[in-house]
Amino acid sequence: DVKVTQSSRYLVKRTGEKVFLECVQDMDHENMFWYRQDPGLGLRLIYFSYDVKMKEKGDIPEGYSVSREKKERFSLILESASTNQTSMYLCASSLEQGAESVQETQYFGPGTRLLVL
Amino acid sequence: GQNIDQPTEMTATEGAIVQINCTYQTSGFNGLFWYQQHAGEAPTFLSYNVLDGLEEKGRFSSFLSRSKGYSYLLLKELQMKDSASYLCAVRDLGGSYIPTFGRGTSLIVHP
């Protein structure tokens, strides 16, 4: 079974703090993703990566950055947390980039619920 | 990009059948996913459709009509544990191959 883990289930930070959210997958997947999920807005893509050291902006990258130094690990960084970044953050991975098949199925981590005060 | 629409909330009775619809508009369709997400948990994969027709998997089936930009998820013999959000996600032929998610349908199953 694919396993995607996230470093924290719950996190409370103060405005202006630098926040690191870590994600690790154990299935040698090429692609990794960071989403945030908010009531009424669904899942929105922040950043994704299709290879080590590669990153691409998603739909809402402002206020975030990412790092992928190793294939299994994808980190989301909030340089200076703000209250509007209070959200559920979900990491996901998938096997192949550009595969036109069910192999593009994404496997999600359990999520990190971040509260910024 | 895509415009994906699904009902916000549905309720159904244990043992019944429920159909959750998803309509989409995309410049070049390349697959549709359904995910289930229980409250406080990660979304988990249910089904994938890329060709027209019905895909059946136990109590769950998913249908696709590409010409109509329409899919549905059919849940039979509903159980209380089926209470969850159901997410429709559509992939297009754009460069990234990444699906765009709808806002999800919250299904409440009552006795």
Written as six digits, the tokens of B90 are 């559509």
Query: For residue B22, which amino acid is it?
Result: C
Please determine, for residue A5, whether its predicted confidence score (pLDDT) is greater than 90: yes
Lowest mean pLDDT segment, chosen from A44-53, A70-79, B42-51, B89-98: B89-98
Pair B48, B56: CB distance under 8 Å:
no
Rounded to whole angstroms, the Cα distance separating B89 from B86 reads: 10
**Enclosing H/E stretch for B53:** strand B53-57
Mean pLDDT of chain A, nearest integer = 91
Please determine, for residue A100, whether its predicted confidence score (pLDDT) is greater than 70: no
Confidence of residue A84 (pLDDT cuts 50, 70, 90): very high
**Rounded to the nearest 5 degrees, what angle is found at the Cα of B51, between the Cα atoms of B56 and A27?**
75
Residues 6 or more apart whose CB falls under 8 angstroms from that of A96 comprise A30, A31, A103, A104
- pLDDT, tens digit, 9 for 90 and up, residues A17-46: 999 999 999 989 999 999 999 988 889 999
Whether the CB of B24 is below 8 Å from some CB of chain A: the reply is no
DSSP characters over chain A: ---EEES-SEEEE-TT--EEEEEEESS--SEEEEEEEETTTEEEEEEEESSTT--EE-S--TT-EEEEEETTEEEEEESS--GGG-EEEEEEEES-SS--SGGG--EE---EEEEE-
Please determine, for residue B28, whether its predicted confidence score (pLDDT) is greater than 90: no
Q: According to the model, what pLDDT value does residue B43 have?
A: 94
Confidence of residue B29 (pLDDT cuts 50, 70, 90): confident
DSSP state of B7: -
Considering CB atoms only, which of B48, B96, B101 is closest to A56?
A: B96
Give the pLDDT mean for A59-76: 96
DSSP state of B98: P
Please determine, for residue B96, whether its predicted confidence score (pLDDT) is greater than 70: no
- pLDDT, tens digit, 9 for 90 and up, residues B45-93: 999 999 999 999 899 999 999 999 999 999 999 999 999 999 999 988 7
Instruction: Look at chain B and count its residues.
Output: 111
Mean pLDDT of chain B, nearest integer = 92
Q: According to the model, what pLDDT value does residue B26 have?
A: 85
Q: According to the per-residue pLDDT averaged within each range, which of A72-86, A98-112, B86-100 is highest?
A: A72-86
**A33–B98 C-beta distance less than 8 A:** yes
Percentage above 90 pLDDT, chain A: 77
Rounded to whole angstroms, the Cα distance separating A100 from B108 reads: 33
**B45–A109 C-beta distance less than 8 A:** no
Residues 6 or more apart whose CB falls under 8 angstroms from that of B86 comprise B6, B20, B34, B35, B36, B37, B46, B73, B104, B105, B107
Place of tokens 């009509």: B65
Maximum distance among all Cα pairs of chain B, rounded to whole angstroms: 46
Residues of B in contact with A90 (CB under 8 A): 42-43
**A106–B45 C-beta distance less than 8 A:** yes
